Structure 1
Amino acid sequence: MTDAEQREAARQFINRWKGRGNEDEDGRSYWIELLHDVLGMEDVTQHVDFEKKVYVDGNKKRIDAYLPETKVIIEQKSLGKALDQKIRNSGGVDLTPFDQAKRYNDSLDYDEKARWIVTCNFAEIWIYDMNQMNAKDVAPIVIQLGELQDKYPMLDFLIKQDVKKVSHEMKVSIEAGNIVGKLYDAFAKEFGLPETAPKNETPEEKAQREADLRSLNALCVRLVFCLYAEDAGIFDRASFHDYVASFEPQRLRMALKELFKILDTPIDKRDRFLADDLAAFPYVNGGLFSDETLEIPPFTDELKDVLLIDASENFDWRDISPTIFGAVFESTLNPETRRKGGMHYTSRENIHKVIDPLFLNDLKSELEDVLNTKGNKKRINALKMYQQKLASLTFLDPACGSGNFLTETYLSLRKLENRVIQELIAIDSGVFGQIKMGESMVNPIKVLISQFYGIEINDFAVTVAKTALWIAESQMMQETESIIKMELDFLPLTTNANIVEGNALRIDWNDVVPASELSYIMGNPPFIGSSMMTKTQKDEVVSIVGKIHLSNSIDYVGGWYYKAAIMIQNTNVKVTFVSTNSITQGEQVEPLWDQLLNKYKIKIDFAYRTFRWDSEANLKAHVHCVIIGFSSQSTPVKNKKIYEDETVSSVDNINPYLVNAPNILIKSRSKPICDVRKMTKGNQPTDHGNFILSEEEKEKLITDDPSIKCCVRRYIGARDYLNNNEKRYCLWLKDITPSVYRNNKEIMRRLQAIKEFREQSSAAPTRRSAQTPFKFFSTPQTDESFLIVPRVSSERRRYIPIGFMPKEYIAADSCSIVCGAGLYGFGVLESNVHMAWMRTVCGRLKSDYRYSGSVVYNNFPWPSPTDKQKETIEKTAQSILDARDLYPDSSLADLYDPLTMPPELRKAHQMNDRAVMQAYGFSTKMSESDCVAELMKMYQQLTTAETKKK
């Protein structure tokens, strides 16, 4: 299951179980649903022993639920039963639910003893880690039912054997997000900031609101840095808390201003008579506290309590993940602002999909080789060289947002470096000199945050990114200190996070970091589709790629691809971007990739085919994405890899469709590349609804004037066809003499409305068609029966439901049609071969297939079957139609839903698939990717032959 699916399942689970739950009647259902629907466990009853027998003091008892694979005991109580209070048990003993479960656990065989104990009352789940239960004051981790949508990852221990502890980092980060939200809301209230921008805002009011927002965002970042610094030991313990506590609310505003100024002032530049409470704070440097124009609103008792109690006394910031830090903070931004900027916040798992194949896998493998070097002297030299290599790498994220990619990369490199330091000390404690407290110290850390560069248009995100890197630096320094057994100075900040505020498509990336000094470019540029781009954004892309190559179909991210391709010319720099999958599908592929491949000579080194991209922000964004790693053709790459689902394939080449096939670009074309029937759009009315009739309107029209019955035809669009919607009809006056309908007032009223509607159009062809209001705007349909292909179809379907329509029906332009097609054509188009081609080259509407005759059908390489093979395909095609006819009450949407597809229909399709693959000479064991690769080779041969004819 994807994270998005799990979150939605958790939401539904919460709604189903809110306010209900009886131990005896509902306990089993509750856990089956939670384990299956939310956590994705298959065959729950095969993995869970409900009512497991256990003998306690010779008496048979039953454990409510026991998971033998993960060693979990579950003790279930009814809703309303307190999980921390003792309850009288059947043996006359008063026990808490945990005590009761532990009593059962003590009576189990050794190899069955619980690693985890869970108690639950439907509204709360309490988790006890049995590895920690000997420690004093260890409290259970509590998940409220209503929190499950955010906290379900903390239940992974139920289904995964390798969970060592419930994700404390995730728990801390979620709680941190809630605290940031509280702080933000409390300050926003004092600033008087509205939730959304007022509609009739004056320029002065707008400027003030934006200035307040800027101050609010920066204030939140500064306060959290102080809270973190206090808990992490960067500041003296409790110094910030005690400083805040020492002032009455009305004085706190000025007190914080004074503190921020001191934090930005070097020790030797401070007033020598400075009060002790301020003098105790160190000099931070780094620019975080340098802006003195930041405004702080008046404090109230409530606001002081949020800062002092919620954010300081009741929370420990030490273990916050700096990678998640950015997402936590950006979750406080207005969602509308996030959408407009195209920003999506990234989970660590997805970050590693980028950085692991880009460089981290190779670095880890290289370190293992270094650690296996024979001989201490050689190993020391190899370790030093490896550490120097780590320190020489430079990274650029040209759309860095809150710095998640840079931060996680820094953490990953420092973890490798700490392994090096640990090994060097193990070999020879004198490697770094005599490292003793109080003596001259040599800092062994060489990997610095100054190796990391970012470009970000949002000023708040720039500050967050820098702060996240500083927190990461602090945490990794603490790890190094534990290795070398000495303290290192974190403050003042001496290494700079090179995050530049600016528009990445407007500035020269070489001004941020020269290409000659760069190792890797990475990130997830804004996900803004071509149709959603503003004029300014289109102009930005045009300024990079030029009007001639822009095409209306290129997404905003195309600008980043071009700028990266230009920057890496004649270098060894490697690039990896996360992108919407639209850049590898449909009409966008050719205009985007033509110059990238042919002018800038890039090659794709690895790719993740389409997957769901999720984030760790409060309001998650779910997008269908690809990941593409590329470099200059002059840069050697040994193993090109395609990642899909859980599989990895080593391939010879990766083309822009992310298939192991030649670098061909499929262009939109007006005619089929093979000698087959023409595909057109359905008929386009452009009538403001005046040609279209409901069944009631049709009946009334004909009842009032039977003579115009010949003017009315059945009208069918994609939704009508797929879902058996109510029947629709249309006025079809093509080839009908005007004398038949000119005296019909209703028809003439509709024609007048069509004329007026078309005359008002901004498009010249539409205005010209106002002269013939009795005709559809376009009527490509011929007087033959036709195949109908919905132009948009659900991605869940393995096959787009194609079908035959009688010539009397009029197809809407929501469909594509092939007039005069027969069973053979239907069989090929409905086959898995054509569907594999379609899935690869078609465009998408959100995630649904968007079938295009000019791209998908006209470029499709058809087989050259023998007469016998063609006859077989005609038979299997008919069997598909026959299987559909077995279910006359079901719509095609019903029949082609993967969960409800009848076995007869599935079998008919499988027979047709085999027949078509045999006509191509393809093995039935061929994967879909291999099938597409072969089709692309055929396409290349066809286009080469076509060019030679010209």
Structure 2
Amino acid sequence: MLHTLRDSPATAKAKAKFILATDGQTLEAEELISGETIACAFEDFPNHFGFLLPLAGISTIKEIKDNPIDVRATGRLNKLYVELLRENPDWAKEERRSDMNHFMARLVFCFFAEDTDIFNGKGLFTQTVDQMSASDGSNTHEVLSQIFRAMNIKVAERANAEPRLPNWANGFPYVNGGLFSGSTEVPRFTRMARTYLMHAGALSWREINPDIFGSMIQAVADDDERGALGMHYTSVPNILKVLNPLFLDDLRTALADAGDNERKLLNLRKRMARIRVFDPACGSGNFLVIAYKQMREIEAEINRRRDELHLRSEIPLTNFRGIELRDFPAEIARLALIIAEFQCDVLYRGQKDALAEFLPLDAQNWIVCGNALRLDWLSICPPSGTGVKVAGDDLFNVPLDQAEINFENDGGETYICGNPPYKGSQAQSAEQKEDLKLVFNLCQKRWPSLDYIAGWFLKAALHMSLSNGKAAFVSTNSISQGEQVPLLWPLLLEPGNSIDFCHTSFSWSNLASKNAGVTVVVIGFSGRNGGKKRIYETDDRGEVTVREVTNISPYLVAGESIIVSAVAKQPSDRWLMLKGNQPTDGGHLCLTPDERHTLISQFPEASPYVMRYVGSQELIRGEQRYCIWVEDENRAHAEGLAPLADRFRRVAETRAASVAPSTRPFAAFPHRFRQIQAVGKWTTIAIPSVSSERRPYLPVDLLGARTIVSNLAFALYDAPLWNLSLIASRLHLVWVGTVCGKMKTDFRYSNTLGWNTFPVPLLTEQNKTDLTRCAEDILLAREAHFPATIADLYDPETMPDNLRHAHERNDEVLERIYIGRRFKNDTERLEKLFELYTKMTAADKEKPAAKATRGRKKTV
């Protein structure tokens, strides 16, 4: 049936993503991009709706397709949540939001329990609410309150309970564990809210996947993200990029080595019982749930080989600990772990044994709700041989001073992991700035420039110094680029720590399409400096390769742990690069094309004082802008021209009123820029200070005479053209992207950090001639597409073939100078550059200071 639709011209014309065909009995569908298909009975189609999630703006992740119940459950709870808040506005206020969230967690448990025989009788909860509450919802809150109250009273004590429980509530078991303790108040229901409650209960909650559902339900309670199903969900393969190399691979290797040796298998099982997994930014518990399920799978294989499948698991939930800032995700994390434990018991031990030991819930607490950067991690996940200091027996609504968990972890291992929040230094709130100050103030004076996630790295390093543990975090790749490296990594590596493994940059995207994936890295580190290190890389096809190396640097390349620092001194082997000229003029020395035309047409004698003005946007997008440029010897003549005199007056007023004391003296020189670096006599090679990371090469251009470069770009004045070849190379782009870092996702250029440190082999005159020709070919290829701008020409999807070939030729010539052939990939490029940088810095320490300078520089 699909064949005709697939080949139809109308399908191509409409740019269809999906095609569906049915005869009323069966249904077939195909996603045209991936080629994935489904075929099912027509009435069974709703169970395959995950296949069509891309039409709702949700990425097609395999776990969701295989288990769409999680999406359906979230959607129905979402509707219920919105309706309840509409009817109960007080519950939407900050002071009652935790009550509302706690109520939702209770509902989730009840739905799951009635479908898994935890409650006696399938559908007990939903049927009781349906039978005992009015159809208009007027007393639904009272019925639910009695059910919740019943689950907080032991069966033997119910006869004496005051007030007495209604007989219909006695059928519910004692659950407690903190989930049903405290207030049993329930928000009031409307007819619509009751209907949504019944709809949610009608689903088969037995199939809920806690590592998916926990993340998706998180969106229900978030005003900004409600309805974005699965925005917080991270796929299992991505989580395993952290957990596998951190410790799971080691456990699987130990299992393989044990074979059928009962003693070795027993030792491994005892070892696993003492492992703690700690996520100090746990959200709804994804990492903890996946770690638990993976460990239970290994334990089950041990028990199978020892013929002990009947044994209760020795892996306690108390070993899976987390910190979460918001109360609702913290509650969901606890609930997700409880559900995961029950499902693992059913899978590996059978329904009967799982039910026999499930209730009442354990009152011990393992998820703390609080600010991870202000809490003492050692009190939440202490080192071997100590208990946990906490108070209160409320599992789901505990204060930070929780009751001591009566559990010793003597000789155990601790693994810290997770996906802490990403916030660049400019995006942090005042409270987040204060968090970093508390963590870094005594050891790093420049803490305000650090990314927010740096706080988790340092606290993990401090924890490991006492617990002998290991840590691995997902982080934006900025943590291993630019100024973050010299600010953070000396602190992390100082105690003798080392990077054990890393996964270099890859896209870490969540389900919602509006939440574009960020480029991240995974970094695992510990205090164990010996042994082989591993670098994982994902290629363009999504395939992962791993290499063993002797050391991993903070830039996540194989090599020494060297840190690149800015160098103000001019390199002896290339031209001097300077930042552009800064006007600080209130805009009065700058001209639009129309203003330039008006000025010159009315005052032709002003023409010598008008020059082209180029910054980042002018260079990349071809925007036209001009400026007034008057040398000191021409000031009197320029001031004799009325429009220029008027502009100079306004410049003087602007500078005189400046809040910056250093600017005010320049009101006496209103005819010139505030900071003048240099002016090219013949040509200028210019590079924008910020440019998009989408382009395969850095935007660099050759400008003619009578051009002023602004402070939003860098320039080499009257430099040989082979310098442009270096800047336009792939080698230079990967170096700048690594050591200069990014502004959001854009490349941020720096002359002192990107150009002056760039390692270049000794170039012969022939090398320079060859590179000059390559630079000319690049410029000629651009000229062939005039008036296309750099933005037009360097779009990766539409870059002209002749320009691409010119750049590839430039890369080939330059890379053969470095290693005699083309580099295989960017990783190999970086490793070679850092090798040369190490040699270059070592040689520089032995040289006397260079005296020569190149380029023309004018100071004020």
TM-score, length of structure 1 as denominator length: 0.79
Secondary structure at 2:312 match in 1: coil
What are the Cα deviations for residues 391-443 of structure 1, in whole angstroms up to 9, with x where unaligned?
11101111111111111111111122222233333xxxxx47xx6xxxxxxx5
Secondary structure at 2:474 match in 1: strand
User: Structure 1 residues 193, 121: closer, same or farther in 2, change over 3 A?
Assistant: farther
User: Structure 1 residues 769, 569: closer, same or farther in 2, change over 3 A?
Assistant: same
Q: Is the contact made by 2:687 and 2:713 (CA closer than 8 Å) also made in structure 1? A: yes
Superposition deviation, residue 578 in structure 1: 0.9
Q: Which amino acid aligns with 1:860?
A: F
Superposition deviation, residue 489 in structure 1: 2.2
What's 2:616 paired with?
718
Q: Is the contact made by 1:97 and 1:119 (CA closer than 8 Å) also made in structure 2? A: no
What's 2:488 paired with?
592
What's 1:685 paired with?
583
What's 1:766 paired with?
663
Pairing 1:156-171 to 2, within 5 Å after superposition: 167-169=65-67, 171=68
Q: Which amino acid aligns with 2:139?
A: R
In structure 1, C-alpha distance between the alignment counterparts of 2:767 and 2:751, rounded to whole Å = 25
Superposition deviation, residue 146 in structure 1: 7.6
User: Are 2:20 and 1:29 equivalent residues in the alignment?
Assistant: no
What's 2:159 paired with?
271
User: Structure 1 residues 743, 263: closer, same or farther in 2, change over 3 A?
Assistant: farther
User: Structure 1 residues 903, 121: closer, same or farther in 2, change over 3 A?
Assistant: closer
User: Are 2:526 and 1:631 equivalent residues in the alignment?
Assistant: yes
In structure 1, C-alpha distance between the alignment counterparts of 2:480 and 2:165, rounded to whole Å = 62
User: Are 2:128 and 1:243 equivalent residues in the alignment?
Assistant: yes
More moved, 225-234 vs 145-154 = 145-154
Superposition deviation, residue 344 in structure 1: 5.4
User: Structure 1 residues 690, 531: closer, same or farther in 2, change over 3 A?
Assistant: same
User: Structure 1 residues 845, 333: closer, same or farther in 2, change over 3 A?
Assistant: farther
Q: Is the contact made by 2:441 and 2:447 (CA closer than 8 Å) also made in structure 1? A: no
Superposition deviation, residue 336 in structure 1: 4.8
In structure 2, C-alpha distance between the alignment counterparts of 1:581 and 1:226, rounded to whole Å = 42
In structure 2, C-alpha distance between the alignment counterparts of 1:258 and 1:675, rounded to whole Å = 82
In structure 2, C-alpha distance between the alignment counterparts of 1:121 and 1:844, rounded to whole Å = 36
In structure 2, C-alpha distance between the alignment counterparts of 1:172 and 1:732, rounded to whole Å = 68
User: Are 2:120 and 1:225 equivalent residues in the alignment?
Assistant: no
Pairing 1:613-652 to 2, within 5 Å after superposition: 613-616=508-511, 620=515, 622-634=517-529, 636-645=530-539, 646=543, 647-652=545-550
User: Structure 1 residues 138, 798: closer, same or farther in 2, change over 3 A?
Assistant: closer
**Superposition CA RMSD, Å:** 3.1
What's 2:364 paired with?
496
Q: Is the contact made by 2:504 and 2:535 (CA closer than 8 Å) also made in structure 1? A: no
User: Are 2:595 and 1:701 equivalent residues in the alignment?
Assistant: no
Q: Is the contact made by 1:265 and 1:283 (CA closer than 8 Å) also made in structure 2? A: yes
Secondary structure at 2:736 match in 1: helix
Match of 1:416 among 298, 321, 344: 298
In structure 2, C-alpha distance between the alignment counterparts of 1:836 and 1:322, rounded to whole Å = 40
Q: Is the contact made by 2:51 and 2:65 (CA closer than 8 Å) also made in structure 1? A: no
Superposition deviation, residue 704 in structure 1: 1.8
User: Structure 1 residues 545, 143: closer, same or farther in 2, change over 3 A?
Assistant: closer
User: Are 2:146 and 1:258 equivalent residues in the alignment?
Assistant: yes
Secondary structure at 1:529 match in 2: coil
What are the Cα deviations for residues 494-514 of structure 1, in whole angstroms up to 9, with x where unaligned?
273401122111121111121
In structure 2, C-alpha distance between the alignment counterparts of 1:445 and 1:793, rounded to whole Å = 55
Q: Which amino acid aligns with 1:259?
A: I
More moved, 461-470 vs 488-497 = 488-497
Q: Is the contact made by 2:53 and 2:60 (CA closer than 8 Å) also made in structure 1? A: no
What's 2:672 paired with?
775
User: Structure 1 residues 362, 126: closer, same or farther in 2, change over 3 A?
Assistant: closer
User: Structure 1 residues 551, 765: closer, same or farther in 2, change over 3 A?
Assistant: farther
User: Structure 1 residues 747, 269: closer, same or farther in 2, change over 3 A?
Assistant: farther
Q: Is the contact made by 1:576 and 1:629 (CA closer than 8 Å) also made in structure 2? A: yes
Match of 2:274 among 392, 396, 403: 392
User: Are 2:435 and 1:525 equivalent residues in the alignment?
Assistant: no
Q: Is the contact made by 1:183 and 1:307 (CA closer than 8 Å) also made in structure 2? A: yes
What's 1:357 paired with?
245
Q: Is the contact made by 1:717 and 1:814 (CA closer than 8 Å) also made in structure 2? A: yes
Superposition deviation, residue 526 in structure 1: 1.2
Match of 1:562 among 458, 461, 472: 458
What's 1:283 paired with?
174
Q: Is the contact made by 1:667 and 1:855 (CA closer than 8 Å) also made in structure 2? A: yes
Superposition deviation, residue 126 in structure 1: 9.2
Q: Which amino acid aligns with 1:262?
A: A
What are the Cα deviations for residues 434-477 of structure 1, in whole angstroms up to 9, with x where unaligned?
x6xxxxxxx52111211111111212221111111111112111
User: Structure 1 residues 742, 836: closer, same or farther in 2, change over 3 A?
Assistant: same
User: Structure 1 residues 661, 453: closer, same or farther in 2, change over 3 A?
Assistant: same
Superposition deviation, residue 485 in structure 1: 7.5
Task: Give unmatched runs, 5+ long, in structure 2.
Answer: 385-408, 849-860
Match of 2:446 among 541, 550, 554: 550
Q: Is the contact made by 1:452 and 1:497 (CA closer than 8 Å) also made in structure 2? A: no
User: Are 2:183 and 1:301 equivalent residues in the alignment?
Assistant: no
Tell me the number of residue pairs that the alignment of Structure 1 and Structure 2 aligns: 799
Match of 1:609 among 482, 488, 504: 504
Superposition deviation, residue 860 in structure 1: 1.0
Superposition deviation, residue 685 in structure 1: 2.1
In structure 1, C-alpha distance between the alignment counterparts of 2:361 and 2:461, rounded to whole Å = 34
What are the Cα deviations for residues 54-83 of structure 1, in whole angstroms up to 9, with x where unaligned?
xxxxxxxxxxxxxxxxxxxx8x55xxxxx4
Superposition deviation, residue 714 in structure 1: 0.9
Q: Is the contact made by 1:549 and 1:592 (CA closer than 8 Å) also made in structure 2? A: no
User: Are 2:340 and 1:472 equivalent residues in the alignment?
Assistant: yes
Match of 1:917 among 792, 806, 815: 815
In structure 1, C-alpha distance between the alignment counterparts of 2:233 and 2:644, rounded to whole Å = 55
Superposition deviation, residue 650 in structure 1: 2.1
In structure 2, C-alpha distance between the alignment counterparts of 1:288 and 1:524, rounded to whole Å = 27
What's 2:79 paired with?
182
Q: Is the contact made by 1:883 and 1:908 (CA closer than 8 Å) also made in structure 2? A: yes
User: Are 2:209 and 1:321 equivalent residues in the alignment?
Assistant: yes
More moved, 566-575 vs 315-324 = 566-575
Superposition deviation, residue 259 in structure 1: 2.1
Superposition deviation, residue 32 in structure 1: 7.8
Q: Is the contact made by 1:331 and 1:618 (CA closer than 8 Å) also made in structure 2? A: no
Secondary structure at 2:193 match in 1: helix
Q: Which amino acid aligns with 2:288?
A: L
Pairing 1:62-211 to 2, within 5 Å after superposition: 83=22, 85=24, 98=27, 117-118=28-29, 127-129=38-40, 141-142=48-49, 148-150=55-57, 153=60, 167-169=65-67, 171-192=68-89, 209-211=93-95
Superposition deviation, residue 212 in structure 1: 2.8
Superposition deviation, residue 337 in structure 1: 8.7
Q: Which amino acid aligns with 1:153?
A: T
Superposition deviation, residue 796 in structure 1: 2.3
Q: Which amino acid aligns with 1:252?
A: T
What are the Cα deviations for residues 194-220 of structure 1, in whole angstroms up to 9, with x where unaligned?
9xxxxxxxxxxxxx8102322222221
Task: Give unmatched runs, 5+ long, in structure 1.
Answer: 1-20, 36-73, 78-82, 86-95, 99-116, 157-164, 195-207, 374-378, 426-430, 436-442
Superposition deviation, residue 852 in structure 1: 1.4
Secondary structure at 1:659 match in 2: coil
Secondary structure at 1:128 match in 2: strand
What's 1:740 paired with?
637
User: Are 2:238 and 1:381 equivalent residues in the alignment?
Assistant: no
In structure 2, C-alpha distance between the alignment counterparts of 1:775 and 1:885, rounded to whole Å = 33
Q: Which amino acid aligns with 2:841?
A: T
Secondary structure at 2:450 match in 1: coil
Q: Is the contact made by 2:414 and 2:470 (CA closer than 8 Å) also made in structure 1? A: yes
Secondary structure at 1:118 match in 2: strand
Secondary structure at 1:586 match in 2: coil
Q: Is the contact made by 1:876 and 1:912 (CA closer than 8 Å) also made in structure 2? A: yes
Secondary structure at 1:740 match in 2: helix
User: Structure 1 residues 562, 268: closer, same or farther in 2, change over 3 A?
Assistant: same
In structure 2, C-alpha distance between the alignment counterparts of 1:28 and 1:618, rounded to whole Å = 24
What's 1:42 paired with?
none
Secondary structure at 1:833 match in 2: helix
Superposition deviation, residue 227 in structure 1: 1.0
